[in-house]
Chains A and B, each alone.
Chain A
């Protein structure tokens, strides 16, 4: 290979490298989710509200979801406000429209995760999977934690095999077998 050809090859590789890196970064920036209202989780949780006060479906259904506008207006309806965000909320309320929240957390469609049993029976803290949401002063652009199957399995394995032996352990295993399963089809659908 001549020197000229080598220089040309290196130049081409540099151009490709820059293009790929640039595309990757812009892709990352654009993938951030912007919400219609800059909801501060911190403000609400500092008032000692529980997560399930607003995300009440988590206790009843598989999907936790976002609260309906009417629930927000239950507190934010009356009084004067300087906050642009509360004004936006009231504007949605006046037109009778739901706030078009954009979903940030999404498990793969072949995974079945029922919030109900994890919240009400297992009593797992929301932060275990969702990260420190209570510290956020504006909505997250991306999930705070990236969950992998290992995260689910680690918890299920830990809870399924009680330490020690004897009748108590056998009973616990029986209970656990019913509730905390390592059977693939329990979560994969």
Chain B
């Protein structure tokens, strides 16, 4: 069984937000409107966090694209009282919207703020949305699923064409959209995959690693040129 993971090279990231927009379009992520945004209710499964350099204040900004980190030991799944969020055999942390009761325990448990709540019905089904992803109703928590529907489609295609599934057939929308190729996606259980090789780099680090969440989104820190 594959173990899907992602490597984000912070040296390559220009903060262009292409991944953010690609994610929103792919996953029918709603625009909540100005009023809701002011209340901190923006939904953005992929978010580019910014961090200003303390030494060179106002001169340097670091961009950290943050999807759901798909922890291998996710804190969010442990608190869900209804098994609406869980880690599936592929290592993807799934969210079953039909099962979610909107208690938001998982949001409180997630140290990365990667989960979002639908405070209102932000959108209804209409043409132009991605038919492979449902429109979430009011009162449920939603999150990045590593574009799981793409994995499913790729598997189905392989089955229909009577061939083995090729991991290269599956890529997330954010990785596909990144013009700087800062986001690399693949199978972490395969040591020959590009993502595994990058993850073994000395530049590799994980966000809040000390919490023991074992995220499968691995960052590559900025190189020697910085600072």
Contacts and interface: CB of A to CB of B under 8 A. Distances in A.
Interface of A: 108-110, 112, 114, 116-117, 120-121, 177-179, 183-186, 188-189
Nearest to A114: B156
B158 to A, nearest CB: 10
Contacts of A183: 88-89, 94
Contacts of A188: 96-99
A35 to B, nearest CB: 23
B160 interface: yes
B36 interface: no
Contacts of A116: 156, 160
A177 to B, nearest CB: 8
B149 interface: yes
A177 B90 CA distance: 11
Contacts of A186: 152
A188 B125 CA distance: 16
B160 A185 contact: no
A114 B99 CA distance: 21
A171 B218 CA distance: 34
B148 interface: yes
Interface string B76-90: 000000000010110
Nearest to A109: B134
Q: Sorted from nearest, which 6 A-B pairs have the closest CB atoms?
A: A185-B94, A110-B134, A188-B96, A184-B96, A110-B98, A189-B134
Contacts of A117: 156, 159-160
Given A183-B88, A189-B134, A110 B97 contact: yes
Contacts, number: 49
A188 B88 CA distance: 13
Contact of B148 (A108, A114, A185): A185
Contacts of A178: 155, 165
Nearest to A121: B159
B96 A109 contact: no
B149 A184 contact: no
A112 B152 contact: yes
25 contacts: A108-B98, A109-B134, A109-B135, A110-B98, A112-B149, A112-B152, A114-B152, A116-B156, A116-B160, A117-B156, A117-B159, A120-B160, A121-B160, A177-B89, A178-B165, A183-B94, A184-B88, A184-B94, A185-B88, A185-B92, A185-B94, A185-B145, A185-B148, A188-B98, A188-B99
B70 to A, nearest CB: 13
A189 B149 contact: yes
A167 B182 CA distance: 43
B203 to A, nearest CB: 32
Contacts of B149: 112, 189
Contacts of B89: 177, 183
B53 interface: no
B169 interface: no
A67 to B, nearest CB: 20
Interface string B120-134: 000001000000111
